[in-house]
Amino acid sequence: VNSISLRTLCFLIKKNEILLGYKKKGFGKGKWLGIGGKVEKEESPENAVTREVLEEVHVNPYNLQKVALLQFRFPPSKVDWNQDVIVFITQEWNKEPSESDEIRPEWFEFNNLPYDEMWDDARYWVPYLQKKKIEAKFIFDDNLKVLQNEIKEVNQF
């Protein structure tokens, strides 16, 4: 039985810009993505995302807002990739983000994101980030393109 891993993502936001990380190794290598990772046993999603942001871009995020719950389901050949992801945003952190072994951070304007170099699902849900809270489900095909998606706005989690 494959269990679904719980992961987190965090986006640092300043005015009309958002911080993305270029993944240098591991899962998602070569893509621009949010900062985050797996929630360890005995760890809250908030603690996990704070730890990951510190490890990956060397900043402490504060006043995290939970803005999305995403379900990612992959084809049978990649069933161990299935994951639920809690997405946070914040406009407060303690210093300028810097590069780690895993992530090279870069600021992008919201209206000029590198969607073609991100996971295929990003173009569907990232535009909501500053506006609405959402729950979404994405089903991927064998080429890791979104086969089906369902997004609904929610008031809270």
The 10s digit of each residue's pLDDT in 48-95 is 999 999 999 999 999 999 999 999 999 999 999 999 999 999 999 999
Q: Which amino acid is at 153?
A: E
pLDDT tens sequence across 3-58:
799 999 999 999 999 999 999 999 899 999 999 999 999 999 999 999 999 999 99
* CA separation for the pair 151, 21 (Å, rounded): 24
Measured CA to CA in angstroms, residue 127 lies from 14, 75, 123, 136 at distances of 15, 26, 7, 13
